[in-house]
Amino acid sequence: MKRYIILLLVSITTTGFLGCEQSDPEDVLGRIGDVVYFSGYEWDVKIYENTQQGPGPNWFSGHYEDVWVDEKGYLHMRISNRDGRWWASEIVGRDNIGFGTYTWVVQGDLENIPENIVLGLFSWDNNTFQEEANSEVDIEFAKWGDATTNKTLHYSVQPVSFGPVYPERSFAPETPAGSLIGVSTHSFLWTDSIIEWKSYTGEGIDPANQIAEWTFTLDNPARVKNENGLSSDPVIIPSPGATTNARINFWIMPWISPAPTDNSEHEIVIRSFTYTPL
């Protein structure tokens, strides 16, 4: 089985998330059509240009300048304003993954973000709604509409708020001030009996630098995901399916505002990707 390592580099300026010095899209090497060749893997660019799609819902851009790979092999993803619309971005891994450890190393200011944008790092399966509630485990950075909150890091296992809200399935740790500015590392271990999330300041997993953790076990009650008039089977810890994959999305909460509340475009720069199977 392939071994993956996930590295995410993000930095924020007054005009949005902006990582390394940008290159002209004409100079990039890693995208052909709607497929991104990034970090040794193939990813499909999620594109919805004629209708909106969840999460959000948003318009998801296929524009070359919104999802592209530069000459260094870094992936760029943007929230952009084009043709009178605000656009989100998402990539979908083609490799099937499952139980194991997922780790992201993030650089940037993930504390001082607009209250209606989300950076999502997660697993998903289009074909396991009924049995496993889409096999979704999340690490997200968001304020969820509260401009005053200092809690932007969120761990969760779905379903959380599809129908009734199940607060025991999500946790927003209290992180030390400034610990999500600069370099930080975030991971989860997903098994059939436990999910463990941990976050650290700096690059890499160093217990001395741990800033947050959460554990979710089979001691919790089974919950049902309700969506589009359908209900899943009750699930505690979802299992991956045959088509579970990794995804990264960068999107707007339009029920707060159709544009980022700072009215700025934002960009993330993702250096590489990894997953370590059990």
Could you tell me the pTM of the whole model? 0.88
Return d(Cα 15, Cα 129) in angstroms, integer. 38
For residue 234, say if its preceding peptide bond is cis, omega within 30 degrees of 0. Answer: no
SS3 58: strand
CATH code, 7-277: 2.60.120.200
Return d(Cα 186, Cα 197) in angstroms, integer. 7
Give the residue among 139, 120, 147 at the shortest CA–CA distance from 54: 120
Enumerate residues 6+ apart whose C-beta is below 8 A from 181.
108, 109, 110, 111, 112
Pseudo-torsion of CA 68, 254, 150, 79, nearest 10°?
Answer: 20
Q: What is the pLDDT along the chain (278 residues), one digit of tens a residue?
A: 333 333 334 333 333 444 334 445 554 579 999 999 987 889 999 999 999 999 999 999 999 999 998 787 778 889 999 999 999 999 999 999 999 998 877 777 889 999 999 999 999 999 999 999 999 999 999 999 999 999 999 999 999 999 899 999 999 999 999 998 887 888 999 999 999 999 999 888 999 999 999 999 999 999 999 999 999 999 999 999 999 999 999 999 999 999 999 999 998 777 778 899 99
